[in-house]
A = this chain, B = another copy of it.
């Protein structure tokens, strides 16, 4: 109706149209959406399809469905909810550098001996599985998440975990990450050891510095991996990025 874009699934079209109407301010927070039967007529689909779209909105926290009453707007979509949201590997690693650096600093003041042995075990894990790329990735993730968990702050842990999940949302980013990792397995282990040592001594500043150094190295690996397959035109853009990220790291 209002939009010609058609995806494979009808309920996605309906849900997307409704989200667009929400974003456009058509239905302010607290107001009631049209009835399912009415929406079925408006979109020219069956009621089960409208219900499927409704559940998609409900799961995303946009609306609350009340039996016998209707669907009421809970919140409006914001940037992150819009489609086409994928972060580059650079943005992702920059964010991790800043956030995980602070998380490591906080973790250094909170970590228990048990958690230290757990982190140490994960450092060994990544050293062992240097053959299997999938195992290495998993061990790396667990290492970083264990430190985030040691902050005893679920908001911090959740945010960092979501940054790792973001890697999967973009195939190119995931590929770039794995490519950048293969060449730098041994340095990664050493950098992880440095972080572990700082945590052991409960030195917040050292932990922050070690974590930032590690992720700065990852960032360098990404830049190198990009350059390897880049044209001269892309090389200029990379150079600009390098300037920016080295500035941010300093």
Contact = CB atoms under 8 A, between A and B. Distances in A.
Interface in A148-178: 153-159, 161-163, 165-166, 168
Interface string A57-88: 00110000001000000010011100001010
Contact of A154 (B55, B85, B165, B247): B85
Interface stretch (A97-105, A123-131, A215-223): A97-105
A92 B159 CA distance: 10
B95 A155 contact: yes
For the complex formed by this chain, how many copies does it contain in all? 2
A156 B55 contact: no
Given A11-B55, A99-B156, A159-B162, 9 more contacts: A48-B51, A59-B59, A85-B154, A91-B155, A95-B159, A101-B102, A109-B248, A158-B166, A159-B163
Interface of A: 8, 11, 48, 51-52, 55-56, 59-60, 67, 75, 78-80, 85, 87, 91-92, 94-95, 98-99, 101-103, 106, 109-110, 153-159, 161-163, 165-166, 168, 244, 247-248
Q: Shortest 5 CB-CB distances between A and B: which pairs?
A: A98-B102, A95-B155, A87-B155, A59-B59, A91-B155
